Structure 1
Amino acid sequence: MMFDRDNVYRIAPFGAYVFFMLLEDVLLKFGWDANELRLLYVVKITVVVGLLWLMRRAYSELRWPAGVSSRTWIVAIVAGIVVFVAWINLTADWMVMGESVGFDPRDDAEIDWFLVTVRLAGAALVVPIMEELFWRSFLMRWITHPDFLTVSPAQIGFKAFCITAILFAVAHSLWLAGLFAGIIYNLLYMRSGTLWSPILAHAITNGILGIWIVSTGNWGFW
């Protein structure tokens, strides 16, 4: 069943994150200004962190793996950098789906560093754990077999790989960059056997992207 306890533990933080994204879209449609909703991100990340903390004992896949070679971590870091480069370059009109409002932390051209810090911390530290628990650890394995905790990353089938990568793409306005990222993170998980590999790559991607956004003022990427 989709709503077994182990499933819910991995769906709930992601579901809360999506809920706040939808809430923001609804409020924008009802006339709220994007600047008025910036603190909603703080609430969203706080709720997700709270759920991850409350359910932390259920995440057996987050136990630190023993005997993983340094090559695994180097590959994950390089992969994260490669995804970042792809993300800021795969931006042609046909590679974009919908319209991203972005996250502009400026007040009268002055950057609100509290908002920037929360956004960077959320993107680099919270989102990778929350999303990898859902996309890779849960969904990819659940598609392979409903008793997903018994499925090792190496046993994940081609169908599960493709469905997860496509859904990951659809979840992002930069759909082609999202597809590329989904494929890379999927491969890292399946090849390394540890969820920490795609988490690290995802964190590297989001962290560098955030620094690049603040440095260049390309707020639309947020």
Structure 2
Amino acid sequence: MSPTPAAAGRSAAWLGFAADTLFAIGLTLILSLAGGVIWALIAAARGLDMATPGVLVQMAMAVIATGGTAVLLYLLRRRASDAEKMASLQAIYRSSTWGWTLLAGAAVFLGSSLVSWLFAQFTDQPTPSNMALMEQARAQYPLLLVLFAVGLAPFYEELLFRRVLFGRLAAAGMVLPGIVLSSLLFALSHEIPGLGDHGWAAMLQLWLVYGGMGAVFAWLYQRTGTLLAPIVAHAINNGVALTMLMLGLSAS
């Protein structure tokens, strides 16, 4: 018997998701390497220490690597159709969209705080791997940090993880697998095993925080029908966390 159209569609979606994931990893590595080569050439020409790029260079390389990957995958693999653009525009004008967005932004922040508090009862609080960069940027380029954390990062991360990766499976009716897998990749992209000095308990906490964040944003995208909703919710969460960082407070 030949597979049903629904089964064939799911199989194609799984293959597409696997290809998207591999392309994302490959492009991120290629763009990271390209950014490193460009930095090495500039540093060599100016007599700078190539081993210690400053905060501006690190932020630029992050935008090039992850942001470039997100834009390329969107354009090449999951470009929105005219119908999707129209549906998104209609969703933007619904008041419920922004009610859900505010609720999701608050839920993510409160949920992250709760996870941190629960783990703090049993173990030391882990420091996210990007905290050192955030601290340097806060001291040297606070306005640029706001642009990066509240504007750029939410845009390209939602484009990659929600539009491209989650959207691939959700479009084939596999919303729950899409939420789980895209959120797992979102968590792993923020805290890669083996690259830091965190123990497994600390890694688990950070993965729960980032994974839960990704799951809420994927749900919000599915619920509202516009990518702008998770972008704004993501920006709200980052904005609150950044405000607390600026004030020297702790989310835990």
Matches within 5 A, 1:20-59: 37-44=54-61, 47=64, 59=79
2:175 paired with 1:157:
yes
- Does the 8 Å contact 2:89/2:226 carry over to 1? no
CA apart distance, 1:119? 1.6
Deviations 1:87-130 (A, max 9, x none): 34433266977862523237xxx932xx2211211111111111
Q: CA deviation at 1:73?
A: 1.1
Partner AA of 1:38 in structure 2:
V
- On the 8 A contact 1:16/1:44 being kept in 2, the answer is no
| Larger CA deviation: 66-75 vs 125-134 | 66-75
| Aligned residues between the structures | 193
The alignment's C-alpha RMSD in Å is: 4.2
Q: Tell me which residue corresponds to 2:80.
A: 60
Cα gap change, 1:196 to 1:99, in 2 (>3 Å): closer
Is 2:129 the counterpart of 1:100? Answer: yes
- 2:139 pairs, out of 111, 117, 120, with 111
Q: Matches of 1:99 and 1:67 in 2, distance apart?
A: 37
Q: In terms of Rg, which structure is larger?
A: 2
Distance 1:127 1:99, change over 3 A: closer
Determine the structure 1 residue equivalent to 2:3. none
Superposition TM-score, scaled by structure 2 size: 0.59
Q: Which structure shows the higher helix fraction?
A: 2
**What are the Cα deviations for residues 22-77 of structure 1, in whole angstroms up to 9, with x where unaligned?**
97xxxxxxx956xx632223423663667878999775379573332111112112
Partner of 1:120: 146
What is the TM-score normalised by the length of structure 1? 0.65
Deviation at 1:184, TM superposition (A): 0.6
CA–CA separation in structure 2 for the residues paired with 1:72 and 1:43:
32
Q: Distance in 1 between matches of 2:31 and 2:210?
A: 16
Q: Which moved more, 1:52-61 or 1:69-78?
A: 52-61
What are the within-5 Å matches in structure 2 for residues 68-217 of structure 1?
Answer: 68=91, 69-91=94-116, 92=119, 100=129, 102=131, 103=133, 104-105=135-136, 111-112=139-140, 115-143=141-169, 151=171, 155-173=173-191, 174-216=206-248
Cα–Cα, structure 1 residues 82 and 52, in superposed 2: closer, same or farther, change >3 Å?
Answer: same
Quickly say closer, same or farther: Cα 1:105–1:17, change in 2 above 3 A: farther
Asked if 1 retains the 8 angstrom alpha-carbon contact of 2:24 and 2:73, the reply is no
Query: Secondary structure in 1 aligned to 2:247?
Result: helix
Where does the alignment leave 5 or more consecutive residues of structure 2 unmatched? 1-14, 37-49, 192-205
CA–CA separation in structure 2 for the residues paired with 1:97 and 1:171: 17
Q: Distance in 1 between matches of 2:71 and 2:167?
A: 23
Percent of paired sites with the same residue: 21
